Structure 1
């Protein structure tokens, strides 16, 4: 529940006491935490624990980009932006990667909050500079915010919807006032704002996606672009923030090089041939079988599994409920029953994965069993608006014998489809309107076809035609934005502190926004209520309870066919790279890696073509 920003005070003495308390709360800080707990790192810290402050500088980190790109503006809903273009921009604050949600000053030296989160004020560092030498000012912050709201991708309007106004109080002080008090996360979210140079954009069209190299204030600048094929960044030698504690041990490579491939299989071969240095493996089959080569056996390529402590979120086959025949939850449940995870995991993934059973799996935020007393206080007022099963039984996914025989699931699926008014005639399934059922699964990742083909066969056994439509990256993005699909494979990533981004996933306000991640098309007042309560949580305990309640309702809505996850990052890299002994809890921390002194990248063994198609979805 939102609180009023200001309340009348009846007694002068009380007013004085509250003003003093407010001033104490609002004193400028070097860091902000979600629930005003003490941050891990004090004001005089020298570097994050997961960095090597003495890491050597130099060398080039070569990586693979996927598909293509046609824009260097990542802030608009036009075109495909280049990988890691965000590294040319600094933000007001930066996140710690070993705390649930704590931000430390970057462009902002200090941050000050109103006593009830009614506003937030950022004090900019006087030394902060753009790459052209111009100072970063409060006017740049105001310009950035107003530009993103008015001309940026539509999701910015939803993300910052609770901001009433932003004011440059002087050259280095900027304040954001909120429409409602009590939103604990919004001050931290605004700290993530990338600041753009107002003077550079003054005579340019922000809405035009192009390949002109923009000016930023971050650790890298664009050095060279080959349209759609490669991009190269160079480290800014006189980067204004290089000695800040939040940056020590980061950004150690002189250059970052991305060469684009249209097929993951081709890209992996290029990596093994020495064309680039680092590879995040998303295929269990490849991890088990594709690295039996001399370079791995003799230690030139290192394979490593790094613990991933993040909530795994939900990757799944996503139903677009904007389509009439997918609006009935019985239909969605029936289609979910026909995915045989156990067989898929054994036959295709070498048994590497765990079935995902929550939208917040691998964390304390995930629901399990029956709702407890505190959850019921949230859920009972919504009885009749949410699935009855929420109150009746724990959510469970079917489990098969991994032998490819799913007759029990098929029988139950047929019963559900019959209840929904679907019928079978001449071995073809007809929907409630008497039309043959043909579903299109929009796909951009070639590797995922092998996962979908057995699913397609299981649907065909009930007379349902699943067409797997693979398109290129540009077509995929355009159709995604126009919501032109029946099913896709996608994910809803989560952090240890979910908040305002949940509106982008599940809230009615984002359903018709082409830039949002509300791929499902959810417009449900009950889910809206649970999302708003989650965002308004006043403690970690409340957050956990409210997240679990939302999780239950989403699961029983059968909006996705849950996929799978693994609790590690699988990385392979050539041995001229090195990383800190301590890995951050919530990230691989690639920008803390470095090239060993007196070492060199491998000389590519062969020429590798980049033909093929690519994807945004992953096998994971």
Structure 2
């Protein structure tokens, strides 16, 4: 299929010069669209998929608990599934294109070639679940609320939105700052649209367990915090027949079961208490599926390719703490983590070591900078270590098959000595003031403790008093929001086409924003400038080049001890589902929305007494 290029192009006077204006059914940050205006369904969808039944699964992302259904603020622990099922967006991403979106609430998008503004013509038939129309004023309310009181992720994402105006009941216009970037229109288009009138009774800035009002395919059917959240189809869903929804939302209900203890969750899955499970623990994947349902063929294990950037998972070092502002201390901690021993002993060799913030992509820095990448870095030469220009990007210490690698610990000790932390008679590292080098690492996952305890033991061998403290999930979430830690485990992934969200992870503005994803507190003008180079890229080649330069500089800062990654999703399912023949390469877990219940398979398992 040849890419579709929007053809409705006019000219309009915008400011001092004429600019081309495009009006289209879809938008792509770079290049044409795969699907034309008359497309009937995505290639990875089965438009004839049967309807009905229930999809039950473990909570998304391994989140251990929830006490709020307001997913857009930093207060409380929200159930993230709400945003996926209850709310519709102006447009939706195509999971077989890296950066394309197509109309849902919005019938068309209008934009200038310089992206000084974008505008959406909204479908007048769009309705919230209470029957009220979805209007441009709701979009304005959404953006204003997210920019003012939303989670720092949204505040950073929308930083280049200068104004949002309802130009009519069903037309909304966004004025964008110069250099806002070609990824921003899709980011805006895929934000949930919130109903302004709902928040008259339910303050946007507060946590609540009231059933949220949206315009999406599902309504909240049952909530039992912190154990269960269940959604069922809105029988009057307004967008059921749109092309972007063909073959999607096939289940009558979708239920999520929450487990604070992952091993208890696996036991519940083996007993048929829920049907779909993403397996995050390699030990469970290797040894935990030897139960009757697997041996009888009732449960299937699948490893499905993941075409997205790998999660940036690691032990983040909080540079807001004076002791961790010295890069030599951070380098020493890198030597204390033995990946090879961890991978072979605890993970059955299932993972690869992460060394890049854009792992598993062509945005990962390699070799010595040259050509256009060197030219991009050259203006910052005086602000960067010389090795950024003369050596390949930093590769973390890999480790050996022996946990206590003497050579690594010796090198770490030399770094700590040079940083002024010397070993006393009691074996503790102290500075000139006699203060012990003490670090706190809070964690709410028992399974992660088996990784962190050996790391702490190596740190102890260096004379560091590193304390791994097991705490409850609510306390962990609050401490992360307040940056109340020295070290903390965290993970996130960037989009296939990264943009303004990078500010939330690594930008200076996010460093002191309560609840932000900038766990390390990194505030560096060179990093900020390179983030903007990614945001403002005008082609994918430019974006990847800028991302490689950013990756190279971030790695030189050594703000984390990177962990591991896999290029596949590990999925276990009771064999009762139909799955599209052509899976989409991006964001597989959302593609579960295109699965369906296979009644014949279900009947067969029930006849065998499996369920």
Range into which the TM-score falls when normalised by the shorter chain: over 0.9
| Contact persistence 2:421–2:437 (CA under 8 A) | no
Q: How far apart are residue 140 of structure 1 and its match?
A: 1.1
Residues 541-586 of structure 1, C-alpha deviations (whole Å, 9 max, x = no match): 1111110011011111111111111111010000112211111101
**Residues 384, 419 of structure 1: CA spacing in aligned structure 2 closer, same or farther, 3 A cutoff?**
farther
Residue aligning to 1:581: 581
| Contact persistence 1:233–1:255 (CA under 8 A) | yes
Instruction: State the distance in 1 between where 2:398 and 2:515 align.
Output: 36
2:77 to 74, 77, 80: 80
Q: How far apart are residue 515 of structure 1 and its match?
A: 2.7
- The CA RMSD measured in Å over matched residues stands at 2.1
| Contact persistence 1:222–1:232 (CA under 8 A) | yes
Does 2:40 correspond to 1:38? no
Residue aligning to 1:486: 486
Q: How far apart are residue 182 of structure 1 and its match?
A: 5.4
Residue aligning to 1:408: 407
Q: How far apart are residue 15 of structure 1 and its match?
A: 9.9
Residues 518-539 of structure 1, C-alpha deviations (whole Å, 9 max, x = no match): 0110111111111111111111
2:164 to 125, 147, 166: 166
Describe the SS at the equivalent of 2:402.
coil
Residue aligning to 1:435: 435
Residues 585-609 of structure 1, C-alpha deviations (whole Å, 9 max, x = no match): 0122111111112454978x99xxx
| Contact persistence 2:69–2:211 (CA under 8 A) | yes
| Contact persistence 2:12–2:18 (CA under 8 A) | no
Q: How far apart are residue 18 of structure 1 and its match?
A: 11
Q: Structure 2: 5+ residue runs without aligned partners?
A: 1-10
Residues 211-255 of structure 1, C-alpha deviations (whole Å, 9 max, x = no match): 111211001001112232212111112211111111111111111
**Superposed counterparts of 1:314-329, under 5 Å:** 314-329=312-327
Residue aligning to 2:369: 371
2:54 to 53, 60, 66: 60
Residue aligning to 1:382: 380
Residues 392-436 of structure 1, C-alpha deviations (whole Å, 9 max, x = no match): 211223333312341111111111111111111021111354311
**Residues 528, 83 of structure 1: CA spacing in aligned structure 2 closer, same or farther, 3 A cutoff?**
closer
**Residues 67, 182 of structure 1: CA spacing in aligned structure 2 closer, same or farther, 3 A cutoff?**
closer
Residue aligning to 1:193: 191
| Contact persistence 1:313–1:358 (CA under 8 A) | no
Instruction: State the distance in 1 between where 2:526 and 2:516 align.
Output: 20
Describe the SS at the equivalent of 2:382.
coil
1:29 to 15, 24, 39: 24
Describe the SS at the equivalent of 1:383.
helix
TM-score by length of 1: 0.92
| Contact persistence 1:83–1:258 (CA under 8 A) | no
Query: How many residues are aligned here?
Result: 589
Q: How far apart are residue 156 of structure 1 and its match?
A: 2.3
Residue aligning to 1:128: 126
Instruction: State the distance in 2 between where 1:465 and 1:16 align.
Output: 65
**Residues 95, 26 of structure 1: CA spacing in aligned structure 2 closer, same or farther, 3 A cutoff?**
same
Residues 253-310 of structure 1, C-alpha deviations (whole Å, 9 max, x = no match): 1111122222001001110111100110111111111111221122100000101111
1:149 to 140, 143, 147: 147
Describe the SS at the equivalent of 2:313.
strand
TM-score by length of 2: 0.93
Residues 450-475 of structure 1, C-alpha deviations (whole Å, 9 max, x = no match): 11121111111111121111111111
**Superposed counterparts of 1:176-575, under 5 Å:** 176-181=174-179, 183-394=181-392, 395-426=394-425, 427-431=427-431, 433-575=433-575
**Superposed counterparts of 1:592-607, under 5 Å:** 592-600=594-602
Instruction: State the distance in 1 between where 2:36 and 2:12 align.
Output: 32
Instruction: State the distance in 1 between where 2:574 and 2:13 align.
Output: 63
**Residues 15, 57 of structure 1: CA spacing in aligned structure 2 closer, same or farther, 3 A cutoff?**
closer
Residue aligning to 2:593: 591
Describe the SS at the equivalent of 2:255.
strand
Q: Structure 1: 5+ residue runs without aligned partners?
A: 1-13, 607-620
